[in-house]
Structure 1
Amino acid sequence: MAAKRAGSILVGVAALTGASMAHATGFASLKGIIENDHHPVAGAQVALSELNRSVVTGKDGTYELEGVEPGNYNLVVSADGQSPMQRQVMLHAGQTIEQDVELGSAAKTLQALKVTAQTTPLDMARSIQQEAPNLVNVQPATEIRKLPDVNAAEAVRRIPGISLESDTGEGRFINIRGLDADLNGATFDGVRLPPTNPASPMGGGRAVAFDSIPTGLIGAITVTKTNTPDQDAEALGGTIEITPKQVPPGKDQFLELELGTGLESLRDTPIKDYQVSGGSRFGPGNAFSFIGTLAYYEDKRGVDDIEGSYADDQANGTPDKVMNDFEQRRYQYHRRRIGYGGELNYQPDDDNRWYVRYFKAGYTESVNRQRLTYNMFGGGTGSVTADPSNPKGFIDPNVTYDKTLRDERETIATRVASIGGENHFHDFNIDYLLAATYGTYNKPHDYNSTFANPNTYTVAYDNISDPRYPRFNPLNGNPLDPSAYTLSDFQNSTEHDHTQEYTGAFNVTIPTCWFEGGDENVKFGISARKKDRHSEITSFNAVPPALPMTQFIGGKPVTFYDGHYQNGYNLYAAGLRDLYVNNQGLFPEANPLADQQAEAQGASNGKESVYAVYGQYQFKPVEKLDILAGVRWERTVGAYGGNEVLLDPNTGAFAGATPISVGHSYNNFFPTVQLRYEFAESLIGARSTPRPLPVRASTSSPPRR
């Protein structure tokens, strides 16, 4: 707007000295040629969005805008079958600026988004969705930053058709149109991301935990709900693509800085949210560019939780709603998430680009869980009576209490390294890449300490009058007295999971003109992925010394859950941890064979090699109808290992383990046909095969010991 006001002043001054001079010196002109893969594009709309002015290209693809006020403008080019292309132009008074635009680099694939990444305006993102031959949704960083989403999962959930699974107060796993997260694919600039958190919702271990990726690394998010043959068939549910930030077109350098803070009100703990991104073009003709990104987020979130279970023993005369146990849980988390990376580009002209890229993202989280457990209904064999003073209450005469502490720490990390390029020739385009990805989950300790109270209490409770807040009233004694508790159980476990994958891909796109439409092309390619995964755990259950709980408490008794419950004194995590680490002789292993069996059962490994060939054809046979048809063939060769547990035939105890490996290979064909029909400019109909249809031939090898 400032540029437009400046132009108005120039017109006013020039009018005093002569109208002809104003026309000669006060305005600028813009002209150029619009091409698609080096062929002129007729009928394309060329607009300066700030002025709401536009022209249409002629048969030779040329356009001209005259009498434009000087200033900076967004030049937007729209053509049939193409995603809009945006360029920044600067117009000076009395000058004619030539700006040619090549639409071939704005094909309706992820490459269109890579051109502008975080600077993609919302209207262009929506246009990409509208013009795509398949079902996609695009969320640029310009929209992501409008909401307080701290990780990639929370940003993706804003997209229609997405559901979110959360843990520890943050979004983690993504479901696309109701399908399990293990069936989705996740890519970072086209490179498949490995799984990190092994605890996926349905236990498949293939889902990507998106809470490890900070939003500061994201230039744009694209969710593909109907995959095309050029995408991995492993993503049966859909693909979530995270595009990193790029140096914006038309700019030689940029710097983005974000400093944020806040307060977790439940515990009055601070939030730290820092992000910085910057980049610059350099070298002869600004052919080189580099961008670096750093994002850091830290919080100390508290969670108050109550959980209970019911006896469900009505068949034996037990009243409905009688409880089997009740837990008061007070969590304190401390999460530090960091992501950083950089990309070096070499682009000597519009037809050639090469890049090398590295990014790492992840978090370290510690958990402190203070839990008070009511062991009710005699462990499932007890009895209760109705409370004579409360028709909705019960009296349980055999309630015991435990006080437990969980002290755990885990680290999740994802690394992506890639090198690749793209080249546009007169009759065809190619792109290629080599990449390595690594996903790790490391849990160095998970201490669980239990202090038992040997006394039995009679408790009156009412969980019917207000089921949100069940009320408990001990009728004899004080179950919160710390002197009544002694250390009765101590456990520790560790876990390490590592997945690494190496990828190579080569694609060829050939523009064709057998039908009408500017985005007709044949595309084919090959790819190979080699994945290696292993997992191992340790388990340790001890017979601890019977130490009084009073040695490991501090502070004041805790009242939590908005003042509804008393949880007693918090246990001192560092004191219990130091006691075990420095005095392991006091913690003899309770059952070494059982721990060894758990470790043998928890160890696994796997290797997979996936080879793929695909071909697809995108065309417009008649006006308003777009068709994308193709097929993908994948061959998977895998070997999956674990342990065969041996048990003593007399005692049933663990007697050893034998490593075992099973080989499996199979071929899959994934044909697809996707239709898009434009009923009106604002009404698009789409139809596709419900999901890829596999035609499988497989072979398996017998177990190898």
Structure 2
Amino acid sequence: MNPFKSSPFIKSSLALACCGILYTTPVLADGAVKGRITDSSQSVYFGGAKITVKELNLKTVSGRDGTFSFNNLPAGDYTLMVDYIGASSVEKKIKIVDENVFTQQIIIGEQEDAIDNIIVYGQSAGQAGAINRQKNASNLKSVVSADSIGQLPDQNAAEALQRLPGVFIARDQGEGRFVGIRGIDPNLNNVTVNGLNVPSPEAGVRSVAMDVIPSELIQSLEVSKTVTPDMDASAIGGSIEVKSLSAFDKSGQSYSFTAQGSYNELESDTSPKLSASFTDVYELNNGLDLGVATAISWFKRDFGSRNVETDGGWSEFKVEDDATGEDIKIFGAEEIEQRQYQITRERLGAALNFDLHSGVANRYYLRTLYSDFSDDEYRQRKEFKFSDGQVNTHDNNSASFSDAEMDRDTKDRYEEQSILSLVAGGEHQLNNWFVEYSVGYSKSDEKEPDRLDVSFAGEGLDLGYIAQSEIPSLSQSSNANDMSNFVLDKVEANDNLSEDEAMTFKVDFSRDFVWNNNNGEFKFGAKYQSREKRNDVNVWIYKDDLQGALASDFAASAPDYDLGEFGPGLNRSAIRQFVNNNRGAFELNENDSQVESDGASYTSNEDIVAAYAMVTLDIDKLQIVAGLRYEGTQFDTEGNQVALLTDDVNDTEVVTSTPWEATKDYDHFLPSLNMRYEHSDKLVSRFAYTNTIARPSFKDSAAFQLIESESSEDDGVISVERKAEVGNPDLDPYESMNLDASIEYYPGSIGVLSAGLFYKDIDNYIVQQEVQDNGQWNGYQEVVQMVNGGSASLTGLELNWSKTFDSGFLISANGTFINADDDLPNQADKIGNFIVGYENNVISTRLSASYKSESFQFEDADMNVYEDSHTQLDFSGKYFINDSVNVYFNAKNLTDEPLYLYHGERKYNYQYESYGRTYELGFTINSL
């Protein structure tokens, strides 16, 4: 039976099964025990600890605030045993009386002098908490704590996650942005903040750019590599949970303040950063405790990059032979570009969280997160246009051209992204039932107001290139640097807005039961999410009546550029002032403007209804989590069918734009099984069978059609050439069956040694194809569309070792090795991290390396484009002046590692971009 296909019989069976469990679950006694795991000073709480009622073999794991509870315990005397990696086991005797709640605060390490250095105050605290949480989790997950984030020079959530096993990041301008898991495209992951799905601010995609979330606002990051039925199914790679800080994470009042300056050697600029946090718990009337936590982070960074890329890659094209005047075909580059970027990136993040606890049975919360991220970018570019010249000499590695063309252009853009996340909810213990509920609102947007792209064209130039391993060597005649030879050719203005808005409602019910003397939990729930994605594009294109302006009218000094000869630059403010003053006199190309605007604008709505039921059962050392999740999706999209009709016979050009609407409904039933076997306190093995999905990106499934039709006459015969690029609202989601098996060894000290195998069988993979022959596009020469392209499978091995030695020396190494049966977009075969460091009460140092092997990106001109392997080396060091003040120094990208993409063979450049090294110096003040 295919688990993805639904039927009325299955739906009815699921409902009956849920009701049956509800009515047959036995009612237990009313005694209970509540408690908290803390240190001898009662100032630090320990989440992730395992607490066991020995006589009943009843187990639970402490929450992030160290609390735990056992409900429905029969009256009697029991022994509580607490296990926490990094500390000795603790046992406490308790007595349960019917209908009474026994409270017990358990202190770990109170008999060990060393425990304060190792667990409480030392820099290994975060790592210890993370390891305990992942060891005792019912599914396979990796955890990064706030303390661990602070040990490495990671500026945002994406960069903090890259250190975990099986996790890699995609970078933008050298800074981590998107997160991939186990080599899978970031679009196929799920991201939540405080349990709420995060919409993407960027147009067309689902993947969340996690560089908009400053690391200072994060309490922990969790990557779940296997899902349970109570989790969203949209997680083929995995699910990422961002948790912001809570006042109940610590005892009493806490605060922190950080000030930093950074220096980018490529731009020789210094950038400031400030962050602060505050938490406190207030005792109110009637036994209420109110926790307030707030944090703010601001970072302004001036930096840049240097770039050489081949537009369209390397292919066969037609040029005129300089000697014979005949058209010939050569293999080479039609256009090669030199680009220089200057960027000011500003990030502002804030969180304000409230927690209200009423006794031990009722908790309420409000979590808020706001992040604003902006890029002020000025790009200067030179385009060497070899296809527009006469070839002198050529081979597969070099060519020279006479009477060729070159463009000098600029992009003047301010882009702002923001994310707002609000989620309110509660937790209640109602007799035998535990109830959780939440309502959430999230909105993200990307604004690109007043973008200006200006191009100057030059002709009659002698140009050439020699292909090298990464950076083509470019040659040009002296008149290519004479700015008076370049005439204003095109002005394009943009005002774009992308919005992604979602409302979410969620409720979960759970209760404990005993079956054949085995402890278990039954849980079921439902979730509803309504989401709207809107892309509003406004483009104005001017090609005529541009006042005869020359590049020399805006000439500036040569920009800093070390990848070849760039020549004079163009003045940003002078160009913008000229356009603003003369735009009314420019002739608007209404047809091109309408095609660009209407063709890229759309609105898509998506409603998801989910329900699940699951059982957790502990049988001696074996824990089983099994269940079924249903997700039904209703999708509709509105866009335009835009046609540009060019009639060369009658010298006319017409644009038609017709609204287009489409709908797509689908549902899935997704069974899953997670098994955890605890061979001993130190050895744990896992197995999981799960089914997950990934919905198509909004751009791929949007209702849009861009059609070009050109009529021409040759010897009295009229011919029509038609081409189209179209969206596909009928796309099916990716569907993946996943198998996971792993073994984890936890030595007595802080550390873990683990190995895992995973297999993914993915159906409905989405790829770009030419579909003019599918029967729907008769008479078209070329139609490009995203389609479901069959299946793909991959098998991987994940290895991880981390260890903190008593001497203070620490080491961490992980590697993920993947074998896929085909080239999958953004899929890397090898991912690895290595960290070595040393720390004591005075200093803390880390040297870290992150590696990602080459990965297929897309196909261009019938050749594959690959991103080259990437290794980044970073250093961080801290000096502790006292228990509450430290100074730190970070060095990022020590080897000045570039981004490199190549076309077919490594010697054929597609894109080379360098960013330089960055150095950071700062200090932090923390409460004790």
Cα distance in 1 between the residues matched to 2:330 and 2:153: 43
Please tell me whether residue 615 in structure 1 is matched to residue 613 in structure 2: yes
Is 1:353 aligned to 2:363, yes or no?
A: yes
- Which letter does structure 1 place at the counterpart of 2:291? S
Contact conserved, 2:671 with 2:690, CA < 8 A, in 1? Answer: no
- Distance in structure 2 (CA, Å) of the matches to 1:675 and 1:425: 29
Q: Show the counterpart of 1:164.
A: 169
1:691 CA drift (Å): 2.5
Amino acid at match of 2:677: Y
Residue 384 (structure 1) aligned to one of 383, 388, 392: 392
Q: CA deviation at 1:347?
A: 0.8
In 1, Cα distance between the equivalents of 2:280 and 2:593? 56
1:567 aligns with 2:566: yes
2:91 matched to which residue of 1? Answer: 56
Q: Which residue in 1 is equivalent to 2:673?
A: 673
The alpha carbon displacement at 1:625 in A equals 1.8
Q: 2:151 aligns with which of 128, 146, 150?
A: 146
SS at match of 1:692: strand
Which residue of the partner structure matches residue 295 of structure 1?
297
CA distance in 2, matches of 1:194, 1:594: 31
- What is the alpha-carbon distance in structure 1 between the residues aligned to residue 231 and residue 483 of structure 2? 60
- Measured after TM superposition, the shift of residue 186 of structure 1 is 0.9
Partner deviation per Cα, 1:561-619 (whole Å, 9 max, x = no partner): 2xx52212221111111222232123211x31221122221121122221221111111
Deviation at 1:560, TM superposition (A): 1.7
Determine the structure 2 residue equivalent to 1:636: 633
1:216: Cα distance to partner? 1.3
Check if 1:224 corresponds to 2:224: yes
Q: Kindly indicate whether the alpha-carbon contact (under 8 Å) linking 2:247 and 2:355 is maintained by their aligned counterparts in 1.
A: no
Q: How does 1:4-153 map to 2 (within 5 A)?
A: 36-37=70-71, 39=73, 42-46=78-82, 54-58=89-93, 60=95, 121-153=126-158
Give the aligned partner of residue 498 of structure 2: 497
| 2:835 corresponding residue in structure 1 | none
User: Retained in 2: the 8 A contact 1:559–1:568?
Assistant: no
Q: Once the 2 structures are TM-superposed, how far is the Cα of residue 264 of structure 1 from its aligned partner? A: 0.6
Distance 1:532 1:41 in 2: 56
- SS for the counterpart of 2:480 is coil
Q: Work out the CA distance in 2 between the residues paired with 1:522 and 1:560.
A: 63
- TM-score normalised according to structure 1 size: 0.78
For 1:324, the equivalent position in structure 2 comes to 334
Deviates more, 1:274-283 or 1:306-315: 306-315
1:546 alignment counterpart: 548
Counterpart in 2 of 1:463? 467
Q: 1:57 to 1:595 in 2, by over 3 A?
A: same
Which residue matches 2:512? 511
In 2, Cα distance between equivalents of 1:407 and 1:175: 31
Counterpart CA distance in 2 for 1:281 and 1:160 is 36
Conserved? CA contact 2:456–2:489, under 8 Å: yes
Q: Percent identity?
A: 23
SS in 1 for 2:531: strand
What is the letter of the counterpart of residue 670 of structure 1? Answer: L
Q: Which residue of 1 aligns with 2:828?
A: none
Are 2:215 and 1:194 aligned?
A: no
The answer (yes or no) to whether the contact 1:515–1:620 under 8 Å persists in 2 is no
Count residues in correspondence: 608
Distance (whole Å) between structure 2 residues aligned to residue 290 and residue 552 of structure 1:
54
How much has 1:629 moved relative to structure 2? 0.5
**Counterparts of 1:684 and 1:54, CA distance in 2:** 17
CA displacement 1:139-173 (0-9 Å, x = unmatched):
11110111111111111121111121111221111
Aligned to 2:247: 247
Structure 1 residue 306 displacement after superposition: 1.3
Letter in structure 2 aligned against 1:588: E
Could you list the per-position Cα deviations for residues 625-683 of structure 1 after superposition, in whole angstroms to 9, with x for gaps in the alignment? 21110111122223211123356596784443232322333332111112222345444
Q: Does residue 283 in structure 1 map to residue 288 in structure 2?
A: no
- After superposition, the Cα gap between the structure-2 partners of 1:279 and 1:424, relative to the gap in structure 1 and judged at 3 Å, is same
Structure whose residues are more often strand by fraction: 2
> Root-mean-square deviation (CA), in Å?
3.7
Q: Give me the whole-angstrom Cα distance separating, in 2, the residues matched to 1:581 and 1:213.
A: 35
8 Å contact from structure 1 (residues 671, 692) kept in 2: no
Bigger radius of gyration among the two: 1
Paired with 1:356 and 1:313, the residues of 2 have a C-alpha distance of 60
| Residues 234 and 455 of structure 1: CA distance in aligned 2, closer, same or farther (over 3 Å) | same
Tell me the amino acid that sits aligned with residue 586 of structure 1. Answer: A
Farther off after superposition, 175-184 or 568-577 = 175-184
Aligned residue for 1:512, secondary structure, equals strand
Mean Cα displacement is larger for which, 502-511 or 120-129? 120-129
Matching residue's letter, 2:553: Q
Contact kept in structure 2, 1:558 and 1:566, CA below 8 Å: no
* Alignment match, 1:399: 404
Structure 2: 5+ residue runs without aligned partners? 1-38, 41-66, 97-103, 322-327, 695-728, 731-928
Contact 2:332 2:398 survives alignment (8 Å)? no
The 1:75/1:347 distance shift into structure 2, 3 A limit, reads: farther
Tell me the equivalent position of 1:595.
593
Structure 2 Cα separation of the partners of residues 514 and 600 of structure 1: 62
Contact residue 643 and residue 657 of structure 1 kept, 8 A: yes
SS of the residue corresponding to residue 196 of structure 1 reads: coil
For residues 345 and 532 of structure 1, the distance between their equivalents in structure 2, rounded to whole angstroms, comes to 30
Q: Give the corresponding residue for 2:624.
A: 627
Number of the residue aligned with 2:818: none
Distance 1:655 1:58, change over 3 A: same
Residue type matched to 2:298 in 1?
A: Y
Q: Relative to structure 1, is the Cα distance of residues 262 and 36 closer, same or farther in structure 2, using a 3 angstrom cutoff?
A: same
CA contact (8 A) 2:158 2:178 kept: yes
Note the C-alpha offset of 1:177. 1.8
Instruction: Give the AA of the match of 2:503.
Output: Y
3-state SS, counterpart of residue 146 of structure 1: coil
Aligned-partner residue type, residue 384 of structure 2: Y
- Return closer, same or farther for 1:690/1:357 CA change in 2, 3 Å cut-off: closer
Distance in 2 between the 1:523 and 1:648 partners? 59
**Hey, what's the Cα distance between the residues in 2 that align with 1:392 and 1:222?**
48
5+ long unaligned stretches in structure 1:
5-32, 77-85, 89-117, 200-204, 701-705
Q: Distance in 2 between matches of 1:300 and 1:65?
A: 48
Contact 1:303 1:330 in 2 (8 A): yes
Deviations 1:435-459 (A, max 9, x none): 11001111113211111222322x4
Amino acid of the structure 2 residue aligned with 1:505: K
In structure 2, relative to structure 1, the CA distance for the partners of 1:320 and 1:552 (3 Å cut) is same
Q: How does 1:229-240 map to 2 (within 5 A)?
A: 229-240=229-240
- State how 1:434-445 maps to structure 2 within 5 Å: 434-445=439-450
TM-score, reference length from structure 2:
0.60
CA deviation vs aligned residue, 1:177-214 (integer Å, no higher than 9, x gap): 22222221111110111111126xxxxx2111111111
Task: Give the distance between the partners of 2:596 and 2:532, measured in 1 at CA.
Answer: 23
8 Å contact kept, 2:367–2:424: yes
CA distance in 1 between counterparts of 2:166 and 2:112 reads: 44
CA distance in structure 1 between the aligned counterparts of 2:674 and 2:421, rounded to whole angstroms:
32
Q: Which amino acid aligns with 2:92?
A: T
Partner SS, residue 600 of structure 1: helix
Q: Matched residues in 2 for 1:641 and 1:48: separation?
A: 54
Distance 1:140 1:236 in 2: 24
Equivalent position SS for 2:133: helix
